[in-house]
Amino acid sequence: MLTFYHAPWSRSFSIFWLLEELGVDYKMELVDIRGGAPDSYRAIQPSKKVPAIDHDGTIVTERAAIALYLGEVFNEKGLAPVAGDADRAAYLRMLVYHDAVFDPAICAKAAKLAYTSNDYPFGTFDDMLAHLEDILTRQPFIAGERFTLADVIWGTGINYTMSVLKELPTRPAFNEYLARVTDRPAFHRTNERDAELASKEPALQKLFQPG
């Protein structure tokens, strides 16, 4: 049994979408991260955050790790380059780069944190931005010429930080990339289901009220 711990309209959207792309059976457990998840959830995720998965007793947290794990477990789906594949190194690197560099750099910018590149291991926002734009200008997908699970993670991250948070500047390369990766049945299905879940969460219901 694969159990997915999720909160609507959160970072775990990426794993929700990823599971839909894989088309595997799973059970969803909702975690009330806004109202206060129970301390018992720390046995799954020590900071009481999402996402997390429990696959037949194997618990995996952190988006990059979950993507890597599921891509290997369900490698017959063809969404994760295997060892020896020319795209394997870029796939691994960009999954880690998203969580280790992109996300903290975005958070630092949103918090208006002033620092130099050597102050933090994730470096500067401007360096990250230039690197990401260069990659998506040169190739259609984040790890090369084909869609992989890394594009689920990056598609979610770019979409939220550019379209909702508005901390990532709009760039033609980003818009074109989003058009490619979000034009998929699994994305639209996940988006609709997540909005339905969000509409039922007390902390989010006011966003659905007219006016």
Q: What is the pLDDT of residues 151-192, one digit of tens each?
A: 999 999 999 999 999 999 999 999 999 999 999 999 999 999
Using only C-alpha atoms, the chain has a radius of gyration, in whole angstroms, of: 17
**Span 72-78, average pLDDT:** 97
Question: Rounded to a whole number, what is the distance in angstroms from the first to the last CA of the chain?
Answer: 43
Q: Which helix (H) or strand (E) holds 27?
A: strand 27-30
In angstroms, rounded to a whole number, what is the distance separating the alpha carbons of residues 125 and 121? Answer: 12
Do 68 and 109 lie in a common domain? no
Do 59 and 128 lie in a common domain? no
| pLDDT at position 207 | 62
Is residue 199 in some structural domain?
no
- pLDDT(209) > 70: no
Do 58 and 104 lie in a common domain? no
Is residue 67 in some structural domain?
yes
CA dihedral 74, 75, 81, 85 (to 10 degrees): 160
| pLDDT at position 202 | 81
Do 69 and 103 lie in a common domain? no
* 48 contacts 41 by C-beta, under 8 angstroms: yes
Neighbours of 111 (CB within 10 A): 9
| pLDDT at position 51 | 98
Domain that holds residue 178: 88-185
Per-residue pLDDT band at 206 (split at 50, 70, 90): low
Of 12-16, 35-39, 130-134, the range with the lowest mean pLDDT is 35-39
Is residue 195 in some structural domain?
no
Residue type, 121: P
- The number of folded domains in the chain is 2
With vertex at residue 130, the alpha carbon angle to CA 71 and CA 124, rounded to the nearest 5 degrees, is 90
| Token pair recorded at residue 14 | 């990426």
| pLDDT at position 203 | 79
Q: Which of 78, 96, 128 is the last residue before a domain boundary? A: 78
Q: Which of 57, 78, 99 is the last residue before a domain boundary? A: 78
Q: Could you read off the pLDDT of 94-149 as tens digits, one per residue?
A: 999 999 999 999 999 999 999 999 999 999 999 999 999 999 999 999 999 999 99
| Token pair recorded at residue 60 | 């995996």
